[in-house]
Amino acid sequence: MHKETEIKLRVSRETLAALRDHPLLKKRNKSGWERSELFNQYFDTPDRELATAKVALRLRRDGDAIIQTLKARGQSVAGLSERIEHEWHLPKAKLDLKKLDGECWPAQLADLDKKTIKPAFTTDFVRERAEIAWGRGKAKVVIEAALDLGEVVAGKQREEICELELELREGEAGALLELAAELAATLPLMPCDISKAERGYRLFDASSYSLSLPSPAFEAEMPLDDAFSALAWHLLASSQRLAEQYRFNGHWRLLQSWVEQLVELRAVLGSLGQAAPRTTTHDMRVRLDALLEDWRPLLQAGQEDEDVRKAAPEQFAEELLDTRWGEFSLNASRWLLGRAWTVERNKRGDRQGNAPLASWLAHFFNEECAALQLARYQLQPEDLAEQLPRIERLQVWLHHARDVVEAPDLDRLYGELNKLQQLANLSISDDVLHARVQQALTVSQNQGWKQLLRK
């Protein structure tokens, strides 16, 4: 048994070829590229009970070696994944069910009749791997870089495998992000935590690739720094999964959700005040603003224009052929892992970052609600759009952490603020101006709103 820590990066065939001769990898390549053909048979029950339990069972033929592998439920944060693997070398290419005993077998599958486990799909690919030395000061770091090209086959369905895997062999996990980010500066790399097994299951059922990640658990006494970190990781990881699924099937709603995650991430970055000095968030904000500047108008146009919606998948594919999305994703992960917003902040910033979440939220909501000046926009509804950043800052914390705040009717308040935000995004007309006035009044009369203003 061992823990597997890796990053998967989706690439094009052109990028895969460029990686093989990339100067950075060539300089640090200590083993040379070793080529092998890997033939993998995955197994499950007819009801996909192993997939439901978040485990993957496979037989791999690597040259003359036959390896049975059970990958247990793991965790993945914004492309950086950790899973426990159990491996057994077998004398022949036949699944050995006796190896699947209590030491490795999930408790939730204890009553499963293992005789119902049958072949499900295959993932066959050519792998070129090399050992990369990646020093971090005096710490020794060894990373295995693997260039994989092949396909997943599930019945009559097929999907190409074309990816770079970086697996940690020795050292700290942050080194994976450092190497990936440097490569992404010049090559389009898409962080993507979908495993080859998940791709196989997705060919049977597109909805099997779960987009809903566990929501962060917030508590009143949690320090603001920890709450921000948990929320930002969640939004970043969700955006990456949405990007992968939209790339796969082009469903408009997924693109909407992708942009919504980026809007929330931008809003939470701008909400922390001195706990995250602007100099520390500058690069993240600039990169996010550039993405949103292109994609928010397209979404708005697509609400009324079917041709825009139909053209969007091709435009998104072009986005992924650029370095922008990969650079942002990987550098954001590095930024969060290193808690870079805490660097060089003053004592007041430290006090805010260490403040209990409930106390900070009460102060934050009070200030932002007062500054929104809803009474003004009942008289001047044409100017409401200028308050979009503030509305979005309120929304992101109400969306994810309103249970921490002791105030009535916050569920309704969140919904009403969403309506106000939508109206602020619409082009001005007499109907829109009238609706803005009425919605501003509705929000101002909400009991939760009144309570937050009194805090």
Q: Confirm whether 289 is domain-assigned.
A: no
Q: Confirm whether 173 is domain-assigned.
A: yes
Report the C-alpha gap between 269 and 445 in whole angstroms.
29
Q: What's the pLDDT tens digit per position in 209-267?
A: 888 788 899 999 999 999 999 999 999 999 999 999 999 999 999 999 999 999 999 99
Q: Confirm whether 110 is domain-assigned.
A: yes
Last residue of a domain, one of 147, 178, 210: 210
Which pLDDT band, with edges at 50, 70 and 90, does 148 fall under? very high
User: Are the C-beta atoms of residues 1 and 158 closer than 8 Å to each other?
Assistant: no
Cα-based angle 22, 23, 28 (whole degrees, multiple of 5):
105
Report the C-alpha gap between 41 and 124 in whole angstroms.
8
Domain count, the chain: 2
Report how far apart, in Å, the C-alpha atoms of 66 and of each of 55, 128, 165 are. 20, 19, 21
Burial label for 177, CB within 10 Å (0-12, 13-18, 19+), is: buried
DSSP letter for each residue of 78-146: TTEEEEEEEEEEESSSS--GGG--TTTS-GGGTT--GGG-EEEEEEEEEEEEEEEE--BTTB--EEEEE
Q: What's the pLDDT tens digit per position in 292-349?
A: 999 999 999 999 899 999 999 999 999 999 999 999 999 999 999 999 999 989 999 9
Q: CATH number for the domain including 87?
A: 2.40.320.10
Last residue of a domain, one of 189, 210, 231: 210
Q: Confirm whether 154 is domain-assigned.
A: yes
Q: Confirm whether 262 is domain-assigned.
A: no
Closest CA to 452 of 350, 389, 371: 371
Q: What is the pLDDT of residue 455?
A: 63
Q: Confirm whether 334 is domain-assigned.
A: no
Sign, CA torsion 340/341/345/348:
negative
Element (H, E) at 169: strand 157-170
Q: What's the pLDDT tens digit per position in 38-61?
A: 999 999 999 999 999 889 999 999
User: Are the C-beta atoms of residues 397 and 364 closer than 8 Å to each other?
Assistant: yes
Higher pLDDT pick, 104 / 354: 354
Q: Which domain holds residue 361?
A: 356-454
Q: Confirm whether 329 is domain-assigned.
A: no
